[in-house]
Amino acid sequence: MLTGAEYLGSIQDGRRLYFDGELIADPLSHPMFATNYRNAAEGYDRAYDKDAEAGPYYVIPQTVDELRDLMHALADWDDLAAVTSQGLTALLTAGARMSSQPEYAKYSSRMRAYHQYCKENDLRCVQAITDAKGDRRLPPSKQDDPDMYTRIVERRPDGVVVNGAKLHITAAAVAHEMIVMPTKMMKPGEEDWAIACAIPMNAQGVSIVNTTYAPRADNPDYYPISSHANSTEGFIILDNVFVPNERVFLAGEVEHSATFAHALGLWERLGGTMHMAECADTLVGFAQLIAEANGASAISHIKDKIAEMVIYATLIRGCLEAAVTHAGRTPEGWMHPNELYTNAAKHYGGAEFNIMIRHLHDIAGGGVLTVTAAASSSTRQTGRFTRRTVSAPIRREAAPPMNSPAPMNRCSSSCATSGPPSKIATSSSGNSSRTIFTLSALVAGVSSEGLSMQTLPAAMAPTKGWKSRPDGKFQGPKMSTWPFGS
């Protein structure tokens, strides 16, 4: 296994990364890439075990319990580790689905060998599936530019040469390899576009044009989430890239061109939806905390809104639990989540997410947009005024200092899993105003930073007074209890 430092060494491999139109000479020290590299390196260090055969990301679940563990782990690991696990497991799933047809046995065995190669070298891979697609009305073969969909431009005895682009690829800049898959089902006549393979990021002909939602300013008070949880997103350009046969997993067989996308969707959704569940719990906790801090938690429409948020969180978790409990088994004998429940959870989570944000904004009030940074409550010039005006109206017992995490049951009697009814802060201590500032800033961050839910759970560390976990992440409240009676 690699340590974080070894990972950072391994990634300096001559890859071509662009940002704002410029080739980046030293990505590790570039401010827009630094957090992404640091988080990936920390992921390596967290998992490092000198006695282990391999990192946990390469596990192939053999039982329902192992599948459940993987589902929870996907939401805990850093983004790069999670996409690695999802991409490699998707490859194995696709290989398993092709394995019953003897003509595809070579591809299935190459995919298993590639999984083993990544495991032995502790590599991180991204999922490169989304093509540029050009004119959406036209199939690949009718596009003005045939490279709008990634394609084979030359077949050689020892491999293939590919051209095209893969867009929006999360963490491409910080991974070792990309797993290329067809973006959709290809039809007869579109054989050249039915290409699945693995390509190292530093291969000849690969360039990555990056963006990131890392903040362009450095005050974490104003960027409570993206200042420490951000990822690069890359447009990968493939310009006559040679792929040797052992890394080619599909080369023209259109009947299996969609097998990869379906397999990836399954694992991607399992992890993504687990993130949604954790995010939903956290948003419920925010809503409850702000309602309590404002003395609004007993108002009936506020309770109704929080109840609706709890239902959202619970339905996602329920569907995920069903996806694992009703897991299927591949021909090789390992487990995969139930497709229907996984897809239902993902669809519901995405379709109704706006309710969570709408209720949270409504409950939090104008501070979501106008709250000043926490610093405003601590200086001599503005502190007294801001503490008076934004402090909780009800007297509560003393809160812990903002810099020391407190037991989770302090956050609220209704959103905690156990423990006595809690108190948030005392108006005389001055901590109540900071609680509100921090929460409002985080709520604001949920929407104004435009972040994906994927990044949200990792971003909760600034919320002092909530439970922090040994892995350094923040633990949101679990909705194992119904907070409002039956």
Per-residue x/- track, 227-246, ligand FAD (CB under 6 A): ------x-------------
The least CB distance from residue 12 to ligand FAD, in Å, is: 22
Centre a 10 Å sphere on the Cβ of residue 484 and count the other Cβ atoms it contains: 10
Residue 130 in contact with ligand FAD, rule: CB under 6 A: yes
Residue 169 vs 436, nearer CB to ligand FAD:
169
Tell me which residues in 72-91 interact with ligand FAD (CB under 6 A): none
Shortest Å, Cβ 447 to ligand FAD: 15
Q: How far is the CB of 129 from ligand FAD (least distance, A)?
A: 3
Which region, judged by CB under 6 A, interacts with ligand FAD, from 90-98, 130-138, 147-155, 282-290? 130-138
CB of 286 to ligand FAD, least distance (A): 22
How far apart are CB 175 and ligand FAD at their closest, in Å? 10
Nearer to ligand FAD, 128 or 270 (CB): 128
Task: Tell the smallest beta-carbon distance from residue 131 to ligand FAD (Å).
Answer: 8
With binding defined as CB under 6 A, does residue 128 bind ligand FAD? yes
Residues whose CB falls within 8 Å of the CB of residue 266, separated by 6 or more in sequence, listed in order: 90, 93, 336, 337, 339, 342
Comparing CB distances to ligand FAD, the nearer of 82 and 392 is 82
- Least distance from C-beta 263 to ligand FAD, angstroms? 13
Backbone φ/ψ region at 188: left (φ over 0), alpha (ψ -120 to 50), beta: beta
Residue count, binding to ligand FAD (CB under 6 A): 12
Instruction: Give me the least distance between CB of 67 and ligand FAD, in Å please.
Output: 22
Q: Which of 89, 93, 127, 414 binds ligand FAD (CB under 6 A)?
A: 127
How far is the CA of 372 from the CAs of 386, 435, 447, in angstroms?
Answer: 9, 13, 16
Taking each helix axis from N to C terminus, what angle separates 431-448 and 383-390, rounded to the nearest 10 degrees?
80
Site string for ligand FAD, 417-456 (x = CB under 6 A): -----------------------------------x----
Closest CA to 284 of 447, 482, 94, 46: 482
Minimal distance in Å, beta carbon 456 to ligand FAD? Answer: 13
**Of residues 16, 72, 106, 133, which one binds ligand FAD by CB under 6 A?**
133
CA–CA gap between residue 85 and residue 57 (Å, rounded): 5
Specify the stretch interacting with ligand FAD by CB under 6 A; choose among 50-58, 64-72, 126-134, 273-281: 126-134
Q: State yes or no: residue 212 binds ligand FAD (CB under 6 A).
A: no
Footprint of ligand FAD on residues 151-180 (CB under 6 A)? 168-170
The backbone torsions φ and ψ at residue 45, rounded to the nearest 5 degrees and listed phi first, read -65, -35
Q: Which of 2, 70, 98, 129 binds ligand FAD (CB under 6 A)?
A: 129
Spell 48-75 as b/e; 16+ CB within 10 A means b.
Answer: beeeeebbbbbbbbeeeebbbebbebbb
Question: Considering only 91-99, 125-133, 304-312, 321-329, which stretch makes contact with ligand FAD by CB under 6 A?
Answer: 125-133
- Which residue ranges make up the site for ligand FAD (CB under 6 A)? 126-130, 133, 136, 168-170, 233, 452
